[in-house]
Amino acid sequence: MKKWLLPLSLLILNQPAVAESLNPFKHGDANAGKALVNQHCIQCHASRLGGDGSAIYTRATRIVTSSTKLSSQIRNCNTMLDLKWFEDEELNVAKYLNETYYKFSE
């Protein structure tokens, strides 16, 4: 009986770490991110790809293939367009885009 107690207790204690690794943008606010995307991103993306601009997130040749690359791309757009977003605003955008399009778990 004692043989499985230690592994079980370790598994239970590690649950927050597992949950955190499955949500790379857990501290972001998706609603605030959506507002920023609608205000600043959609028009630029639509001018590049047509339609409503969301195809940039789902195209087969997309450059964003991980949560790290998503964060980097948001930072690039922020810098190139001189949006002057703070890190928490970038995080909000990342959370919204990840929940809506990408579904990265780490």
The reported pLDDT for the residue numbered 15 is: 47
The CATH number assigned to the domain holding 65 equals 1.10.760
Task: State the pLDDT at residue 51.
Answer: 87
Report percent pLDDT > 90 for the chain.
Answer: 57
Domain membership of residue 17 (yes or no) is: no
Residue 50 maps to a domain: yes
Domain count for the chain: 1
- CA triplet 46, 64, 49: central angle to 5 degrees? 15
The whole-number pLDDT of residue 2 equals 54
Residue 19 lies in a domain: no
Each residue's pLDDT tens digit, 47-71: 888 888 888 998 889 889 999 999 9
| pLDDT in the model for residue 18 | 44
Q: Is residue 86 part of a domain?
A: yes
Q: Range of 62's domain?
A: 26-102
Residue pair 74/40 in contact (Cβ under 8 Å)? The answer is no
> Residue 50's pLDDT is what?
84
CB–CB of 71/90 below 8 Å?
yes
* pLDDT of amino acid 81: 92
> For the purposes of burial, counting CB atoms within 10 Å of the CB of 23, is it exposed (0-12), middle (13-18) or buried (19 or more)?
middle
Spans of the chain, pLDDT less than 70: 1-22
